[in-house]
Amino acid sequence: MNYMDSTMLVIGDYTQLFLDNLIVEASHDVTKTTHQPRKDPANPLIIKDRPWEHLPYFTCSNHVVLRDSRDGLFKCWYEDLIDHSGRKYLVEARICHAVSEDGLRWEKPELDVHEENGHKTNVVIGGKDGVEQTHSCGVVEDRFPPDPSRRYRAIFSHYPPFEGQIRAAHSADGVHWQMETESVSFGNLGGAMGDASILDYDPYSRNFITTCRPSRMCSPCLNPRNPMGPTNPGPRYPYDFAKQNRRRIFQAESPDMLHWSQPHLVLCPDDEEDNIDDGFYAMVQCEYSGIYLGFLNVFHRTSNHMDVQLVVSRDRKNWQRTNKRQPWLTLGTPGNWDQGMVASSSAILEVGDELFFYYGGCSCHHDYWIWGPREGIDHPEVTDPELIRFGLGLARLRKDGFVSFDAGSVREGMLATRPFSSEGEGLTINAKCGANGYIKIEVLDQYDEIIEGRSKEACDVFTADSTAHKVTWNGDGSLPVEPMSGGGDTIYPWKTQPQFRKLRFFMKDAELYSFSMK
């Protein structure tokens, strides 16, 4: 079923991005470009630098950064792995806390929550009160908490065992946490779930959303005659859903963080378009300008690396791949701190005219150091713990700068939108022009006729670089909405014809990132 629908062309004042072609009616001599974020030269921003830290584990679903809606501070919760070898269970884990005023310089406050060897630490969950094991912890801010003590909400895997109990917690300040006494359940699966869950909060439905792993995700009925490694979920069986054992993305919803819907599949590697050894490790999702962005952590098992792809949805159910399934956030070059893996578990944050994208990185491989002793792998990371280092990184992107329509410097390009409905009375664009570039815009009515005074020739030419340029025609930026024709229908108001408009962009040596009607 086509996920696009005519109701999606009621755009209101939402900024229109070009991640898909929903708004596009026609184009000529323009091309689409997916833009990758730029890694900050100050990276890594958070690393192991405190005596109580063991292995700060900045990988997917093991850290989260958000910006507090009340005090404006950037806040990070990250996992600290303890004694990750030589025990019955693979790891022990706890959650630490860091804060920043600008998102670049981070502090690890010494708090009164957990002491170690007589000294205060920044550990906020784990190490006491029966929750020694706190792994894959997701944190969100509840904008509409039922009471002040639940402004922050968390969910995490409670080790041991590896696939065992899921627990929830709440906090007024993100530092002092109380465990929920009621068990967490997922449909008819109960509380037995895998790790790698990432939280989001939908302010429209006021539901919590998690992308997660059912505990049997990698355990279908396989051919017992094919060999299986000690840590490999088994061979791949292309085009056989009954033997599907690749890592893939499930999703569940809850109004209270305790009672979750049955997890349903939302993204699975394609047997033809994705590489046969690729798996989807985890995915963070967030609302952005009326659509949903997904940052998909793709695990390449054979090379044992991980990178991030960008996906998009308009309903949180049907996800579309972008950039021809190529990495959106790539590995660092050889010798860099993030040469082994990059992974995301935080929503993108708008900071001024930029978007901040926090990610975890490491110089080592995904699991040689974890499973190596059990598999008998001959690799330096198996025996040298100094090679296992993780950190928090920041990548920056222009506001709305995921995808642009670009025109070259020789021919003038044209982009026409579909007719859309909006009560906005002005047009704002996010665009950048080259040395001799320009953008001109004309506005048309629902009959495809140019609105008087809003022609290409009357448009005040844009030749600059701006994330919020207000378009004018002979100095006038108003685009009044014409009254509805026919007087409407008082018996069936949904049959009332709204006023539609459309835009034509004419451009040369220019990049158009977005537009909005406000």
Residue 234 inside a domain? The answer is no
Residue 203 is predicted with a pLDDT of 85
Could you give the CA distance from residue 295 to residue 355 in angstroms, rounded to a whole number? 14
Residue at which a domain ends, from 398, 415, 447: 398
Same domain, 48 and 30: no
Could you give the CA distance from residue 329 to residue 282 in angstroms, rounded to a whole number? 15
CATH assignment of the domain containing 301:
2.115.10.20
Residue 228 inside a domain? The answer is no
Name the H helices within 231-378: 368-375
Cis previous bond, 161, omega within 30:
yes
Residue 59 inside a domain? The answer is yes
Could you give the CA distance from residue 366 to residue 372 in angstroms, rounded to a whole number? 11
Same domain, 313 and 453: no
Burial (CB count within 10 angstroms: exposed 0-12, middle 13-18, buried 19+), residue 378: exposed
Could you give the CA distance from residue 124 to residue 222 in angstroms, rounded to a whole number? 42
Same domain, 55 and 111: yes
Same domain, 409 and 279: no
Q: What are phi and psi of 470, to 5 degrees?
A: -85, 120
Residues 6+ away with beta carbon under 8 Å from 50? 108, 121, 122
Same domain, 434 and 460: yes
Assess whether pLDDT exceeds 60 at residue 484.
Answer: no
Same domain, 267 and 289: yes
Residue 231 inside a domain? The answer is no
Dump pLDDT digits (tens) for 67-105: 999 999 999 999 998 864 544 445 578 999 999 999 999
Could you give the CA distance from residue 125 to residue 132 in angstroms, rounded to a whole number? 8
Do strands 249-254 and 264-267 pair parallel, antiparallel, or not at all (unpaired)? Answer: antiparallel
Same domain, 248 and 360: yes
Same domain, 27 and 64: no
Same domain, 205 and 258: yes
What is the CB-side half-sphere exposure of residue 507 using CA atoms within 13 A?
A: 32
Query: In what helix (H) or strand (E) does residue 476 lie, and over which residues does it extend?
Result: none
CB 168, CB 184: distance < 8 Å: yes
Burial (CB count within 10 angstroms: exposed 0-12, middle 13-18, buried 19+), residue 184: buried
For residue 199, the enclosing domain spans 38-221+240-398
Same domain, 364 and 462: no
Same domain, 174 and 191: yes
Residues 6+ away with beta carbon under 8 Å from 188? 262
CATH assignment of the domain containing 503:
2.60.120
Residue at which a domain ends, from 365, 383, 398: 398
Dump pLDDT digits (tens) for 344-389: 999 999 999 999 999 999 999 999 998 888 888 999 999 999 999 9
Residue 190 is predicted with a pLDDT of 76
CB 354, CB 67: distance < 8 Å: no
Least confident of 3-12, 192-201, 262-271, 494-503: 494-503
Same domain, 379 and 479: no
Q: Is the dihedral of CA 427, 429, 435, 440 positive or negative?
A: negative
pLDDT category of residue 196 using cuts at 50, 70 and 90: confident
Residue 88 inside a domain? The answer is yes
CB 19, CB 33: distance < 8 Å: no
Residue at which a domain ends, from 367, 398, 429: 398
pLDDT above 70 coverage of the chain, percent: 92
Mean pLDDT value of segment 417-445: 97
Assess whether pLDDT exceeds 70 at residue 184.
Answer: yes
Least confident of 25-39, 232-246, 456-470: 232-246
Assess whether pLDDT exceeds 60 at residue 129.
Answer: no
Residue 192 inside a domain? The answer is yes
What number of helices (H) and strands (E) belong to the chain? 2, 35
Helix (H, G, I), strand (E, B) or coil at 496: coil
Residue 465 inside a domain? The answer is yes
What per-residue string of b and e applies to 124-148 under the rule 16 or more CB within 10 Å gives b?
bbbbeeebebbbbbbbbbbeeeeee
What is the CB-side half-sphere exposure of residue 246 using CA atoms within 13 A?
A: 25
pLDDT category of residue 232 using cuts at 50, 70 and 90: confident
Domains in the chain: how many in total?
2
Residue 211 inside a domain? The answer is yes
